[in-house]
Structure 1
Amino acid sequence: MTGVDDVLAWDLAGLPTVAARLGTLTERLTDASRAAVTSADSDQAWRGATHDAATQRVRVVAASMRRSARAASTATDFIRGSTAILENAQSTLRSRVAAARSEGFTVLDDGAVTHPEPERRADALYLTGAVRQLLQTADDLDRAFAGPIYEAAVRLDGSGDQVGLPNGSIGSPEKAVDALATIAPTRRRSYWESLSRSEQDKLIQTAPDVVGNLDGLPFDDRITANRVTMLDRLESVESESGADSDEARLLRSMLDDERTFLAYDPETGQFAELVGEITPDSPGVAIFVPGTGTGADDVDDLHTRAAALHEKTGAPIIVWADGTFPQTILSNPLQNSYKSMAVDSRLASQNAPRLTSFAAALDDELATAGPGVQTTVIGHSYGGTIVGTAEQLGMRADRVVYASAAGTGTLPGVPWNNPDPDVARYSLTPPGDLIHYAQDLGALTHGGDPDDADGVVRIDSGYLSPDEHGHRQLLAGPDSHSAYLDDPGSDAFTAIADVILGDEPAHYVDRSPDMHQIDDATKEIERDASAVARISGDLVLDTITGPTRRLLSLFD
């Protein structure tokens, strides 16, 4: 406990000066934050990516200044309110001690009082109780006022146990994470960046699985949080299933130092991986949305495809698999729900808002990490339907590629609402790719054929890479559906790279029929729909007529 000499030595005369200075600091911080925001929007002629990035940063700094101002104001109020009370406690103790000493009593630092004359023992015991009570009161008041002042001080650097909340108050890291998850992504980044690094680390440590999957947060922090989640998951998996389990091996691959994940859910396996680094010098950035069968066990194969595209373009590539994808084209409806099959478009409708939100988060990241860098969104197979639906919902992109896409969107009669008026759209569908059947037969639910859609330029699919004899085979037939994604030297892969770089790709050259007559194909499909599923693991065949369709409808 505080000793008598400590209390008597309190220098309280400087507290009013400290309070006055903190009050001045509060006013200056408040005025500066307002002026910064006003100035950022004062020049109506200044618009564009640089303006948006600068304005975003100004608002973050202004929010941080307002939080500091609130902390300084809190400290000011407590200092002003405590000064007179502490002065009274000190003065009362000083008077009591001085009076006792003037009568020959000895007052020790712990409040004990003694007297050399035995007959004054009772007086000494009484004074001991009185002095110690005054000392306890002074100590209690000191701690009561010091706590809030200390909390206000640590809010300035985030070193305390609590963190700032979006509403300006303070609370536990758990409460901050809950608030972070509920506010709009547009507010999320400003709030996050107004926190100190210490506060951000507290939130990541508290709930890395939440922080790592929130659109609007800086990519570096999402990557850090997801790595923490993966490390936790790996420890758990190795403990429960062993170090040689499939999931443990997969996690160790994902935890390679060169790999970075913008989303990761250990329960569902959903993920988004960034291959490459976003910088102001990036020649572009692409989001690749895969198709049917996508799951956690595809993370390495999709990384390989993205790495090849990154190597060819120099642009960062994001594999977006942060949703539930159909795992089969068509399967026994007694064993699987119709919604879980690629012939159904509902999972595309379910994923599209998530993709739209992620694309907006990428725009936020580019505003600071790569102003002016343009975005290309690529949807392959069932992923094309997801991308098309996201465009209907207002996903922003500079360029869009429908690569062997099942359709252009699941919302009947709803046009694309990409807010970029100059968006460039391309389609790439090799001849003989069985997705042609889905584009025609599934038009009512998947949106129709992107090759024939207004405003879409069909890219030349061309030829595969030369074989050992230098011969180049035409990209065509059932295998063409995905073959070009694994062939960086193919014309189709090169065309996609051209789009990412902002170059105009070669337009389509008709070298072979897209498909046989639809009527004949429908009969073939009805005779053996499962054969079609075996031919192309990524094919979306949405509308099946006749007996097969009627059978499926019973389980829809």
Structure 2
Amino acid sequence: MKWSDITDWEESTLETEYQQLCIREKEAEDWGREILELNKSTSWQGDARKAADKRVEEIDQDVAQFIVNLRAMKTATSTMQQGMGAVQGLVRDAKAHAEGSGLTIYSDGTVEDTSGTDWGDVALSTAMNPLSYALPGAGTLISAGTSYEMNKAARQKAVDECADRVDEAVKKANEIDEAYSQALSDIEEGKVKPEGSLKHTVDGPLPMPQDTSDTRAVAEWWDSLSREEQERLADEEPDRIGNLDGVDAWARDRANRHRLDRDYEDLNSRKESNEKKVADYEKWKASAAIGVPAPCSADEYNRAKSELDRQAELDKLKTALKQGAQYNGTSQLLLYDPVEPGENQDQLHAAVTVGDVDKADNVAVHVGGLTTSVDNNVVGYTAEMANVAGTAGGNTASVMWFGYDPPQAGAGSNGLFTVSETERAAAGGADLSHFLEGLHDSRQGSGEGGDPRITALGHSYGSTTLGYALTQVRDGVVDAGVFYGPPGVPAKDVSDFNVPSDSVYVMKNDQDIIGAVPNKGPMGMAPGSDMTQLSDPTEVPGIQHIEGNHGIDPGTGLVTGILGPIAGAGYEGYQDHVNYFDSTNYQDADTQKEIHKYLRQQGLPETDENVRAETQRRQQENATSQQREVSKVVNGTK
């Protein structure tokens, strides 16, 4: 299989086949139940009865085999679909890289620089020098010859990176194609067997899927278990259930609370000794006493300091869960994934809800960007998205998804400069698409709360992550998408997203500092970043616009621009990048005191119901104009 074979792959290609297999499975199960009823109502005996029973038993076995074959074929097809979605995302990423860098990908997968740019001329032009583009005037500090070599190396780096993306897409396509072929061969060769009788096959629990990334298969397995079996798994095997996309939210929360409590208790058991170790070491270091031995080694100090920091982060996570539940009685921990030694993971991954995701009519899922982490943002984002949900009204839940490693401040492999690269966004987008599919699929079984309206929101670098997710997520999962404060998305048209084309929105404040991030220009021709190879969503055809803040200086009444110091007073570049929604935390102690005082002044009982009603009144009253419009997207009234 080569590049030209996979450029048109789409996850939806096999959807008709999958749905037909679902119908056939249901018909076969109904047929099996009818067979189980044969001869039950008759009392005749003798050789004929024995012969009839034997024949019914043979039919039982044949029907059980037919059902498990259908199930195996359905699971293999669903897994292939998800794999095709991943390939689709990889192909789009490679194409975006090529188009943004002036490269051509040929049908055999080879990549060539076809920009036609004379980099000798570029080297002589300070205006076109990548270094001077980032730091005006710095181009004069290096020679034209050095600049030529820098540009030439940048071009080759772009070609090599694009070729790597092509190879990754082709490799993934071959892997899933081989796995699908093998699964179908196993069925044909009779290697798939029922685990018990026809009754067990029809009415018993399904086996747990081998590929747990298939959220539909996971959801069907979970729904086949009794409530008692589900509770037992959540309590006894929390590491297996807590982060399993497709499992009901109540069970994931129950399992992850066990895991959170276990980790917190472990850290807390060493808190006093860690505090003493850190205090003694820092006191010794500050004293700079000559000849006085350190109270512990540097490694011991660093380990103790790290454990105290981890515990403080878990305290914030517990606070967010507690405050989240105070809005409407329920908060759930849908993801809890601490960093383990040797893992390729930078920070704690988590997902916190305000509201019951199993029962909500509307679910808003938020993903943050640069410097986002549980430690920095979980309490603030929980309050902010609770305000969006409160403004939306009705039975609306919000989810704060911290399920990837966005760039952070500082240097290093995950430092500030990685914000110009898309690798982390692409990896996070793949995980986010599975999470979204899991939310949707967990609500599709009999007795579930019905199909919720899912709106996905991405801020800043998180909007790029969301863009990758929406190019891979299965059709019919996400009902609306909102990019706000976005640097770029991997799409040329709204139809590139697997979301209804009339339900994708972008929002950018006039003073948002993100407006200074170039999606075009010299850095696009002499690529120093992947972000310049993506599209500005404010210019993508078909994406609808939500009006942002126009940056009116309240003091002068003048419009200020992105070049704040030049444009004049009132420039709020960073603030206007983060202040799209009301960020008031209505659950902090001071605000709660105000709410209780107000209720007393109004002569109203200070019941939980009245406190929540007054909180929602304030959420709606204090909502920003952007928040009101986004809330309409969330509840489906826009």
Q: Which TM-score tier does this pair reach, normalised by the shorter chain? A: 0.5 to 0.7
Q: Which moved more, 1:289-298 or 1:359-368?
A: 359-368
Residue 259 (structure 1) aligned with residue 331 (structure 2): yes
**1:388 Cα shift?**
1.2
Residue 445 (structure 1) aligned with residue 534 (structure 2): no
Return the match for 1:215 from 238, 242, 245: 245
Residue 288 (structure 1) aligned with residue 366 (structure 2): yes
Structure 2 counterpart SS, 1:277: coil
Q: Which moved more, 1:206-215 or 1:456-465?
A: 456-465
Q: Which residue of 2 aligns with 1:391?
A: 470
Residue 358 (structure 1) aligned with residue 435 (structure 2): yes
Return closer, same or farther for 1:240/1:280 CA change in 2, 3 Å cut-off. Answer: closer
Q: Which residue of 2 aligns with 1:80?
A: none
Q: Which residue of 2 aligns with 1:69?
A: 197
Return closer, same or farther for 1:434/1:22 CA change in 2, 3 Å cut-off. Answer: farther
Amino acid at match of 2:352: E
Amino acid at match of 2:370: T
Q: Is the 8 A contact 1:280 1:372 kept in 2?
A: no
Structure 1 counterpart SS, 2:579: helix
Q: Which residue of 1 aligns with 2:422?
A: 345
Return closer, same or farther for 1:472/1:280 CA change in 2, 3 Å cut-off. Answer: farther
Return the match for 1:250 from 303, 316, 328: 316
Return closer, same or farther for 1:494/1:476 CA change in 2, 3 Å cut-off. Answer: farther
Q: Which moved more, 1:479-488 or 1:242-251?
A: 242-251
Q: In structure 2, how many angstroms separate the alpha carbons of the residues matched to 1:387 and 1:262?
A: 18
Q: Is the 8 A contact 2:321 2:352 kept in 1?
A: no
Q: In structure 2, how many angstroms separate the alpha carbons of the residues matched to 1:404 and 1:193?
A: 39
Q: In structure 1, how many angstroms separate the alpha carbons of the residues matched to 2:243 and 2:519?
A: 36
**1:373 Cα shift?**
3.1
Equivalent residues in 2 for 1:149-228, closer than 5 Å: 166=207, 182=212, 184-228=214-258
Residue 232 (structure 1) aligned with residue 262 (structure 2): yes
> C-alpha offsets along residues 436-493 of structure 1, whole Å, 9 cap, x if unaligned?
122535877332211111001221124799x9x9x99999731111112235521111
Equivalent residues in 2 for 1:103-502, closer than 5 Å: 166=207, 182=212, 184-242=214-272, 245-247=311-313, 249-254=315-320, 256=322, 258-267=330-339, 268-278=347-357, 282=361, 284-297=362-375, 298-314=377-393, 315-328=396-409, 331-332=410-411, 335-336=412-413, 341-368=418-445, 369-394=448-473, 396-409=477-490, 417-438=496-517, 440=519, 445-446=530-531, 447-462=534-549, 477-478=572-573, 479-487=575-583, 488-502=622-636
Q: In structure 2, how many angstroms separate the alpha carbons of the residues matched to 1:480 and 1:436?
A: 11
Q: In structure 1, how many angstroms separate the alpha carbons of the residues matched to 2:488 and 2:636?
A: 24
Return closer, same or farther for 1:390/1:218 CA change in 2, 3 Å cut-off. Answer: same
Amino acid at match of 1:346: E
Q: In structure 1, how many angstroms separate the alpha carbons of the residues matched to 2:469 and 2:200?
A: 45
> C-alpha offsets along residues 329-382 of structure 1, whole Å, 9 cap, x if unaligned?
xx44xx445687312221001111111111211221343444353221111000
Instruction: Structure 1: state its 5+ residue gaps.
Output: 1-16, 39-65, 74-154, 157-163, 167-175, 505-556
Return closer, same or farther for 1:460/1:336 CA change in 2, 3 Å cut-off. Answer: same
Q: Which runs of 4+ in 1 moved over 6 A?
A: 20-35, 471-476
Return closer, same or farther for 1:483/1:345 CA change in 2, 3 Å cut-off. Answer: same
Q: Which residue of 1 aligns with 2:300?
A: none
**1:259 Cα shift?**
2.4
Q: Is the 8 A contact 2:506 2:545 kept in 1?
A: yes
Q: In structure 1, how many angstroms separate the alpha carbons of the residues matched to 2:336 and 2:628?
A: 30
Instruction: Structure 2: state its 5+ residue gaps.
Output: 1-48, 71-193, 276-307, 340-346, 561-569, 584-621
Q: Which is higher, the Rg of structure 1 or of structure 2?
A: 1
Structure 1 counterpart SS, 2:580: helix
User: How many residues get paired?
Assistant: 351
Q: In structure 1, how many angstroms separate the alpha carbons of the residues matched to 2:58 and 2:235?
A: 31
**Once superposed, what is the RMSD of the aligned Cα atoms?**
4.3
**1:187 Cα shift?**
1.1
Structure 1 counterpart SS, 2:269: helix
Q: Is the 8 A contact 2:317 2:378 kept in 1?
A: no
Q: In structure 1, how many angstroms separate the alpha carbons of the residues matched to 2:464 and 2:636?
A: 23
Q: In structure 2, how many angstroms separate the alpha carbons of the residues matched to 1:316 and 1:27?
A: 48
Q: In structure 2, how many angstroms separate the alpha carbons of the residues matched to 1:324 and 1:428?
A: 24
Return closer, same or farther for 1:464/1:255 CA change in 2, 3 Å cut-off. Answer: same
Structure 2 counterpart SS, 1:341: helix
Q: Is the 8 A contact 1:218 1:365 kept in 2?
A: yes
Q: Is the 8 A contact 1:464 1:489 kept in 2?
A: no
